[in-house]
Chain A
């Protein structure tokens, strides 16, 4: 299994509070991704990173920011959480970022915003 650790695994918080999710990898892969999974939508890309300090938006980036100060860590921040951001969040990594290379996923963070 790819060495991907997501923390926390579960979090419950209140509307309006800031939340940061962490993804840590031990594979030294260049590309890292954040997805959210919602019933009826599959997984949708929030943001991704193609190197330290290099990030770009995905399909559903509104309300989220990311940072990558080290190769191994990719942080996802909800500046002011809303109930619509209740979801399961997955981090993924890829060695080359080429389309023919599969992405490898962490075990997810279940986030509930009350």
Chain B
């Protein structure tokens, strides 16, 4: 069965600092991978996706993620945090050939002024 692990349920960074949110997946075959962001009282919005093309994926709002098969990781980064980045972030995996999404438990990002 697919599983996704997000290390750190809460992450705090200072405004302007690097954002690093971790995601590891378990799969013998590289799946499709997604990062979603959820702002308070809203649904999930797609940040970026990995679908076996380039291993470094650029998304919206300056975020990017790197797929590393050897580490089964898909960590999300942003060089400089903004106050508007404060939200909850979810990593999700979809097995190849399937249409189900399996979500991590989420990481809440706080940005300190």
Contact = CB atoms under 8 A, between A and B. Distances in A.
Interface of A: 4, 31, 33, 40-45, 48, 50, 58, 90, 92, 94, 97-100, 102-108
Contacts, number: 61
State which size class the interface on B falls in. 20 to 34
Given A99-B31, A105-B44, A106-B43, A43 B100 contact: no
B97 A42 contact: no
Interface in B27-78: 31-32, 34, 36, 41-46, 49, 51-52
Contacts of A45: 100-101
B44 A90 contact: yes
Contact of A43 (B31, B90, B95): B90
Contacts of B97: 99
A108 B43 CA distance: 6
A48 B101 CA distance: 11
B51 A100 contact: yes
A95 B11 CA distance: 34
B103 interface: yes
Contacts of A104: 46
